[in-house]
Amino acid sequence: MSEIPLPTELDILYEDDALIAINKPSGLLVHPSWIAPRRTPNCVSMIKRYLDGATVHTVHRLDRATSGVLLFAKQKEAAKVMNEAFAERRVRKTYLCVVRGYIDEEDVIDYALKEKFDKMEDKRTRQDKPAQDAVTAYRRLATVELPIPVGRYPAARYSLVECKPHTGRKHQIRRHMKHIFHPIVGDTKHGDGRHNKLWREHFDLQRLLLMATELSFYHPLTGEQIDLKAPVAPEADLLFQQMGWQGKYPIKQTRTGVIQVITDAEAEMSETDAENSN
């Protein structure tokens, strides 16, 4: 399965002297990682380059496969305050996803999750920690039945779902949806392979259908309420239109600027060319 190519620029949803937020595309790393080859494009490097080398502080994360609102701090003090806000659950997060089956109209999943560890970065961390509380509220926005057989069923059913996680465990929404037998479409780790295959073959789906659409918090320096919103990615918008879900999800763009997408290798080459021309 081929991956969706990265866009040529990143949308900036918000920026001031303390913060910067972007609409991260699916497939883009938040920061450099041992799981990807050296010089793989990542948000931190791109934003740092956009800020002429200034320090960028990560205050929360999205999985590589998840798209949507991603917030960074430009200042150490702002980062400290925002890290505390996330830890104390004072940041309101909203996600959009597509799941297998007709999910209940609304409910709250209160199911503790064992902490997931990174094989390299967390190898010194105690691995036998007890499960941590994890709570996700959700509501169904729309459904569709496709006349495509899956397994022993003559048709395939799906739901468009809005999720509001009250806690921030790793892969929380993906694992909670799996727990209630409604895995997210395109999830190769916690999903249903038969349904993932259906979407790849019939709709050319190359990504996880999970998007961070809103992030609300109080500004770490001014105390002003900030409400950040990101539209669904173009490829998701196209799919949702085919499902007849127009008007059920955010499509309005709120960007205030753009960041050019170039790889670290390209940046290094540009710097070398500049040096040689002097």
Which residues 6+ apart lie within 8 Å of 16 measured at CB? Answer: none
Query: CB atoms < 10 A from the CB of 264, how many?
Result: 16
For the cut 70, the answer to whether the pLDDT of residue 120 exceeds it is no
For the cut 50, the answer to whether the pLDDT of residue 275 exceeds it is no
Q: What percent of the chain has pLDDT over 70?
A: 83
Class of domain 9-121+130-277: alpha beta
Q: What percent of the chain has pLDDT over 90?
A: 73
pLDDT digits 0-9 by tens, 76-91: 999 999 999 999 999 9
Positions of E strands within the chain: 9-15, 19-24, 57-58, 67-73, 92-100, 106-110, 135-146, 156-165, 210-218, 225-229, 257-260
- Known catalytic residues are 63
Q: Distance between CA atoms of 235 and 207, rounded to whole angstroms?
A: 9
Ordered by start, the domain boundaries in the chain are 9-121+130-277
pLDDT digits 0-9 by tens, 52-63: 999 999 999 999
